C-alpha cells in the first residue's frame, strides 16, 4: 500500500472512500441547503472511522457548522466505528443502511464505541452525501448499466488471471 502525500490518502479502498466522503461533507458544510445546515448546526463532535486490520483511520470533525477531516486516529472521538477489515467498511458504507451496521455489530464485523445517538445523526447526514441523479440523466444511466456490468465482469476476470499468474 502506498500513500498519496499531497492528499494524505492511502491506496486502501476504505481510506479512499472515507476521503471522498470527507470531501463531500466539506462541500455540504459550505452548501446553502437549509436541511443540511440544520444537521451541521450546533454540533461539536468528532467521528472516527477505522479498520484495525488494514491500519486505516480517518476522523471527521464537525464544529458548529464547519467541517474538517484528518487522516489517522483522533485523540478523543465522540464516536468510533471500527470495521473488521477494509472491504467490510467499504461494503457497509456504500450500502448506507443503518440496520446493516447493527447486523455487522452482532456478527463481530464492526465495533462501535461512544455516543450511539451520533450514528442516527450521521445516518441522516449520510443521506445527503450522494446527490440525487437528475431525472433527465436516468435514461442514459439505464443504457450504460449493461456496459458497466460487462466491464466489471471483464475486469474481475483479468484480476483473477493476474492473481493466479502472480500466485496471490
Domain 3-131: CATH class, spelled out: alpha beta
- Residue where the block lists cell 472515507: 18
What number is the average pLDDT over the span 128-144? 74
Using one digit for the tens of pLDDT, what is the confidence trace for 78-100?
Answer: 999 999 998 888 888 887 777 88
- pLDDT recorded at residue 122: 87
DSSP 84: S
Task: Return the bridge partners of 82, or none.
Answer: 50, 111
Using one digit for the tens of pLDDT, what is the confidence trace for 150-168?
Answer: 777 777 788 788 878 777 6
What number is the average pLDDT over the span 29-48? 90
Lookup: cell for 107: 456478527
* Cα–Cα distance for residue pair 143/7, rounded to 1 Å: 34
HEC sequence for 56-79:
EEEEEEEECCEEEEEECCCCCCCE
What number is the average pLDDT over the span 113-124? 89
- pLDDT recorded at residue 135: 74
Residue-averaged pLDDT of the chain: 84
pLDDT band, very low/low/confident/very high, at 60 (cuts 50, 70, 90): very high
Amino acid at each position: 500500500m502506498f500513500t498519496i502525500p499531497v492528499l494524505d490518502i492511502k491506496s486502501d479502498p476504505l481510506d479512499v472512500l472515507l476521503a471522498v466522503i470527507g470531501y463531500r461533507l466539506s462541500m455540504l458544510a459550505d452548501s446553502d441547503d437549509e436541511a443540511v445546515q440544520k444537521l451541521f448546526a450546533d454540533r461539536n463532535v468528532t467521528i472516527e472511522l477505522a479498520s484495525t486490520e488494514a491500519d486505516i483511520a480517518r476522523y471527521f470533525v464537525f464544529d458548529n457548522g464547519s467541517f474538517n477531516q484528518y487522516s489517522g486516529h483522533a485523540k478523543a472521538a465522540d464516536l468510533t466505528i471500527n470495521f473488521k477489515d477494509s472491504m467490510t467498511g467499504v461494503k457497509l458504507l456504500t450500502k448506507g443502511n443503518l440496520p446493516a451496521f447493527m447486523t455487522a455489530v452482532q456478527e463481530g464485523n464492526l465495533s462501535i464505541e461512544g455516543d450511539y445517538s451520533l450514528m442516527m445523526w450521521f445516518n441522516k447526514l449520510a443521506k445527503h452525501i450522494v446527490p440525487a441523479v437528475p431525472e433527465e440523466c436516468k435514461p442514459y444511466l439505464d443504457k450504460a448499466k449493461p456496459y458497466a456490468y460487462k466491464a466489471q465482469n471483464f475486469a474481475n476476470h483479468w484480476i483473477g488471471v493476474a492473481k493466479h499468474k502472480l500466485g496471490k
